[in-house]
Amino acid sequence: MDKRQAMGSWLSGPRAAAEDMGVDFGYRGQRLGLPEEGPGSIAPVGRRLGAICVDWALCLLIAYGLFADGEAASVSNWALLVFVVMSLLTVGTLGLTPGKRLLRLRVVSVRGGRLTFPRAVLRTLLLGLAIPALVWDRDSRGLHDRFSGAVQIRF
């Protein structure tokens, strides 16, 4: 094995190295019984990031309109509170936020059907901490989704 091949496998990560050895991981969502493409499949990361950006912009606008006192730091603190409340209410009742609706995504239970309200509370509180959302499994689910038994899908 030359140095470039070894460096390439190291930079590509353990998944690429395992795939080079013949391990088949399947597609994202296969372990959860979800289709590979189309409605009901795992939501793409780009759409999920777009949805959270839309939601955050909406929350900043609301926080600025309701709580602006001239300090940017206080507006962003209020925006986080608005984000948590909005996510809790919309995901807990409808299964989606305005950004998710715009980008045709939905949060559902891994077992199928709607996410229960207590699970939506857990998911929202973990999402508000941000760190659990940054740690993903091989199905592209953050820890906030794993701990709450949720998955984000296309609809």
Report which of 88, 87, 84, 79 is spatially closest to residue 59, judged by C-alpha positions.
79
Least confident of 25-39, 45-59, 60-74, 133-147: 60-74
- Three-state SS for the chain is CCHHHHHHHHHHCHHHHHHHCCCCCCCCCHHHCCCCCCCCCECCHHHHHHHHHHHHHHHHHHHHHHHCCCCHHHHHHHHHHHHHHHHHHHHHHCCCCHHHHHCCEEEEECCCCCCCHHHHHHHHHHHHHCHHHHCECCCCCEHHHHHHCEEEEEC
Integer Cα distance of 23 and 113 in angstroms = 32
pLDDT for 19 equals: 67
pLDDT tens-place string over residues 23-52:
777 888 888 889 999 999 999 999 999 999
**Tokens found for residue 11:** 């930079």
Residue 12 pLDDT exceeds 70: no
Q: Provide the whole-model pTM.
A: 0.78
Residue 145 pLDDT exceeds 60: yes
In the structure, what pLDDT confidence band is assigned to residue 83 with cuts at 50, 70 and 90?
very high
Q: What is the mean pLDDT of residues 1-29?
A: 66
Integer Cα distance of 128 and 33 in angstroms = 28
pLDDT for 31 equals: 87
Residue 20 pLDDT exceeds 60: yes
Report which of 105, 113, 88, 109 is spatially closest to residue 46, judged by C-alpha positions.
105
